[in-house]
Amino acid sequence: MKASVNTQYGAPEVLEVKEVPKPIPKDHEVLIKVHASTVNRTDCGFRKPEYLIVRLIAGLFRPKKQILGSELAGEIAAVGSAVKSFKPGDKVFGLNTFNFGTHAEYVCVAEEKAISAMPSNMSYEEAAAICDGAFLALTNIKAANILKPQKILVNGASGSIGTATVQLAKFYGADVTAVCNTPNIKLVEALGADRVIDYTKEDFTKHEAQYDVVLDVVGKSSYFKCKKLLKPKGIYISSELGYMCQNVFLALLTPLLGGKKVLFPIPKDRKEDIVFFRELIEAGQYKAVIDKVYSLDQIVAATQYVETGQKTGNVVIKIT
Ligand SMILES: NC(=O)c1ccc[n+]([C@@H]2O[C@H](COP(=O)([O-])OP(=O)(O)OC[C@H]3O[C@@H](n4cnc5c(N)ncnc54)[C@H](OP(=O)(O)O)[C@@H]3O)[C@@H](O)[C@H]2O)c1
For atom 7 of ligand 1, which residue has the closest CA? 41
pLDDT of residue 228: 97
Task: Work out the pLDDT band at 149, boundaries 50, 70, 90.
Answer: confident
Q: 176: closest CA among 13, 206, 190?
A: 190
Question: Residue 268 pLDDT more than 90?
Answer: no
Question: Residue 284 pLDDT more than 90?
Answer: yes
DSSP letters, 100-114, are: ---SBSEEEEETTSS
CA distance 44 to 50: 10
Task: Work out the pLDDT band at 142, boundaries 50, 70, 90.
Answer: very high
CB neighbours of residue 232 within 10 Å: 8
Task: Work out the pLDDT band at 271, boundaries 50, 70, 90.
Answer: very high
CA distance 151 to 173: 9
For atom 40 of ligand 1, which residue has the closest CA? 181
User: 196 in ligand 1 pocket by Cβ < 6 Å?
Assistant: no
Q: What is the largest CA-CA distance in the chain?
A: 61
| Sequence-separated (6 or more) residues with CB below 8 Å from residue 244 | none
CA angle 180, 184, 188 (to 5 degrees): 80
pLDDT of residue 148: 79
Question: Residue 151 pLDDT more than 90?
Answer: yes
User: 303 in ligand 1 pocket by Cβ < 6 Å?
Assistant: no
Question: Residue 150 pLDDT more than 90?
Answer: yes
Distance 156 CA to ligand 1 centre (A): 6
For atom 41 of ligand 1, which residue has the closest CA? 310
Please give the average per-residue pLDDT across 272-289, as a whole number. Answer: 98
User: 70 in ligand 1 pocket by Cβ < 6 Å?
Assistant: no
Confidence (pTM): 0.96
CA distance 317 to 302: 8
**Taking all residues of the chain, what is their mean pLDDT, rounded to a whole number?**
97
Question: Residue 187 pLDDT more than 90?
Answer: yes
Task: Work out the pLDDT band at 294, boundaries 50, 70, 90.
Answer: very high
Express as a percent the part of the chain with pLDDT over 90: 96
Distance 157 CA to ligand 1 centre (A): 8
Q: 214: closest CA among 152, 272, 276, 256?
A: 152
Is 65 in contact with 58 (CB distance < 8 Å)? yes
CA distance 80 to 182: 50
Amino acid identity, residue 77? Answer: A
Name all domains of the chain by residue range, CATH numbers in brackets: 2-130+288-318 (3.90.180.10), 133-263 (3.40.50.720)
CA distance 131 to 95: 6
Please give the average per-residue pLDDT across 161-186, as a whole number. Answer: 98
Question: Residue 287 pLDDT more than 90?
Answer: yes
Question: Residue 291 pLDDT more than 90?
Answer: yes
Question: Residue 51 pLDDT more than 90?
Answer: no
pLDDT tens-digit map of 71-130:
999 999 999 999 999 999 999 999 999 899 999 999 999 999 999 999 999 999 999 999
Distance 236 CA to ligand 1 centre (A): 16
pLDDT tens-digit map of 216-233:
999 999 999 999 999 999
CA 295 to chain centre: 20
For atom 32 of ligand 1, which residue has the closest CA? 156
Task: Work out the pLDDT band at 283, boundaries 50, 70, 90.
Answer: very high
DSSP letters, 141-179, are: HHHTTTTS--EEEEETTTSHHHHHHHHHHHHTT-EEEEE
Distance 13 CA to ligand 1 centre (A): 22
CB neighbours of residue 271 within 10 Å: 16
For a substitution probing ligand 1, which of 131, 153, 239 has the most ligand atoms within 8 Å of its CB?
239
pLDDT of residue 96: 95
Q: How many helices (H) and strands (E) does the chain have?
A: 10, 15
pLDDT of residue 184: 98
Tell which atom from ligand 1 comes closest to the C-alpha of 221: 31
User: 160 in ligand 1 pocket by Cβ < 6 Å?
Assistant: yes
Is 98 in contact with 46 (CB distance < 8 Å)? no
CA distance 118 to 208: 43
